[in-house]
Amino acid sequence: MAELLESKEKIIKVVCEKSGKSKKEVEELIEKKKEKFSGLLTDSGAAFIVAKELGVKLNVAEGMSERLKISQLDEGMNNIELLVRVYRVYSPRKFEKEGKKGMLCNLLVGDDSGALRLTVWHNEVKKLEEEGIKRNSILLLKNCYVSAFNKVLQLNLGYNGEIILRKEKEVGKEVPAEKDYSKKLDELKAGMDEVDVTARVLRIFPERAFSTGEREGKLINFSLGDGTAIVRATAWNELTEEVGKLSPGEIVRAEGAYTKEGLKGNIELHLGWKARVFKNPSAKIPALNELLKKEIKHSSIEKLNEGDRDVEVKATVIALNKSSLLFNVCPQCGGKIQREGEGFLCGKCGEVKEPEKRMVLSFELDDGSGIIKGIAFGLMAEKILGVNAIEAGKMLEEKSAEEVLDGLKEGIQGKVITGDGNVRMNPMSNEKELILNNISEITFIEEK
């Protein structure tokens, strides 16, 4: 049974018994170890390392009179207690091993002697979110053990381990001073790293897959506002699931993000593998409607340029263009699918037994200053046509898409649409197109 060690003297006694060395020899080794670490090791910490080097396994008692520092840790130690500040919380990750599913989350924690990675598992991951543990939080860690990967020490929370959130006033100067990484959105500049922002979600766009030739992944775009500015944000890979669960209007905090220069010199916020995003409803941010008014920019068609985003136009539908009217998507993720033999295949979800039908509509818009092709998908197309995808599918069983559109155009031409979207250049026609994201109003002007 492992010894319960409470002091330097008890450690020395066990080391002497198990190594065969005298007390004097062990004490000399401890002093040399303390000299090597230039005062960063306590007597007990130095004794632990000496024991490890001599092949003596020790078990630290929970009631040990002195708490260990990170610099005192060595591979194989267990039942460790530490007081640390959180430097970073990485995004939680799900995994499956031998048929069992689980979750883990890594944190970078430190004290005045050093820093290392802490891994927590399963229910403790949920506790991080429930207790609002984030960057700069102070934690008392109980019953930890030390392992190593590629000779780099790692801290792990044991089976009976405990994370206790401590307040700043309770610890005094026992941990390093808090560092503020928070930025307002109007303070962001290209090339920033380790950025924290608190903002309200304005819009969330569909998740999509990407391939660079070397690797494949997924991303989701969304926009954030905090009253000082509005920025476009992108979450990558594992974080797409968390962002996909959010709704417009919710206040979130993003930690560990980085910035890049986007189209037209606009600053973009990116959430990569270092980042984390979580809801933060207590923050004071202007209301969604107020922020959206600042995001949408009204424009005439003649002034629209490729790359314009979130521009609002008010224009009349003067013609419908030929289109397939319906297209197939994956019912699970809403992504594109390809025909594979007699079935369909989604790059993300695999085999698709029964695709979902989505609407697509192409039309010409005229606001008196110019004409542009408008394109609407899904609910936006249904709103313009006044027909849903199921009804359109039944029509297409009897007629071609061209015939169906021809029958509907009388009720569509002359509609005045007020909506916002993004401008892109069609690579085939080399003409500008307005992809509608939202339609706020549809009216119909009858001829007199």
Determine the residue type at 424: R
pLDDT confidence tier of residue 375, bands split at 50, 70 and 90: very high
Mean pLDDT of 325-348: 76
pTM over 0.95: no
401-447 residue pLDDT tens: 899 988 888 888 889 999 888 899 988 889 999 998 878 788 876 55
Rg over alpha carbons for the chain, rounded to the nearest Å, is 30
Looking at domain 297-444, its CATH architecture is: Beta Barrel (2.40)
What does DSSP say about strands 59-60 and 138-149: parallel, antiparallel, or unpaired? unpaired
Looking at domain 187-294, its CATH architecture is: Beta Barrel (2.40)
253-284 residue pLDDT tens: 999 999 998 765 778 999 998 899 988 878 89
130-180 residue pLDDT tens: 888 889 999 999 888 888 888 889 998 876 678 999 988 888 777 888 888
- CA separation for the pair 6, 27 (Å, rounded): 17
95-142 residue pLDDT tens: 877 777 888 889 999 998 889 999 888 888 888 888 888 899 999 998
- CA separation for the pair 5, 164 (Å, rounded): 23
43-83 residue pLDDT tens: 666 777 788 788 887 655 433 435 788 988 888 887 788 99
Per domain, the residue ranges of the chain are 4-84+114-171, 187-294, 297-444
- CA separation for the pair 320, 373 (Å, rounded): 10
Would you state the pLDDT for residue 65?
A: 38
Would you state the pLDDT for residue 42?
A: 60
CATH number given to 4-84+114-171: 2.40.50
Say if residue 242's pLDDT is above 80: yes
Q: Is 314 helix (H, G, I), strand (E, B) or coil?
A: strand
Q: What percentage of the chain has pLDDT greater than the value 70?
A: 90
Asked, colleague to colleague, whether 187-294 and 297-444 share their fold, the answer is: yes
1-45 residue pLDDT tens: 233 344 567 778 888 888 889 999 998 998 888 777 665 556 666
- Three-state SS letters, 319-359: EECCCCCEEEECCCCCCEEEEECCEEEECCCEEECCCEEEE
